[in-house]
A and B are shown apart, each in its own frame.
Chain A
Amino acid sequence: DGGITQSPKYLFRKEGQNVTLSCEQNLNHDAMYWYRQDPGQGLRLIYYSQIVNDFQKGDIAEGYSVSREKKESFPLTVTSAQKNPTAFYLCASSAVTGTQETQYFGPGTRLLVL
């Protein structure tokens, strides 16, 4: 059963704490992306990776970090430097780097600050 999985579904962060959101895909897609979604707004790109061991900043990368050690996995860390982390985080993947390909999304992780 192919697809994109994100965990956990809900995540609570204490002030000053780093937290990591998981994203895994078994679609054999080259490219992976992280977006942030706030109420009433379009998706905003945090980071993306077109190939293993390489990634680029998106429009709102400050306070976030990523890694791409495996093709299947693209974890996102929300660091303590991100002062307003409460949002719905979406991971996506697309088949081929450098072409106009549809992005497919995971189910999302909702991050809340305690």
Chain B
Amino acid sequence: GAVVSQHPSRVICKSGTSVKIECRSLDFQATTMFWYRQFPKKSLMLMATSNEGSKATYEQGVEKDKFLINHASLTLSTLTVTSAHPEDSSFYICSARKGGDGQPQHFGDGTRLSIL
């Protein structure tokens, strides 16, 4: 149980394009979803936390207008990278967590975003 599906797994697009990444919890309801960015050989950097039906809470230094997060239902959150540029190229990973104290975060397989 606790499967998180992230789509697409890989995106290559031109500079200036907007890219949408989907994160779905397949067999549980995710009260909270998280978006991370991971640079090569580095740890995960939390970008934002989103609760269903609420605005996302962004970490310091993360541009809200650049990285649009929508958490429309208990099983779906989306991250849209608007007007992407080469410096936005990275590995983006989502995770989802059930409600309740001590619940672990379950991760998707990530999206490799390459902006040319």
A binds B: no
Which residues does B use to contact A, with CB under 8 Å?
A: none
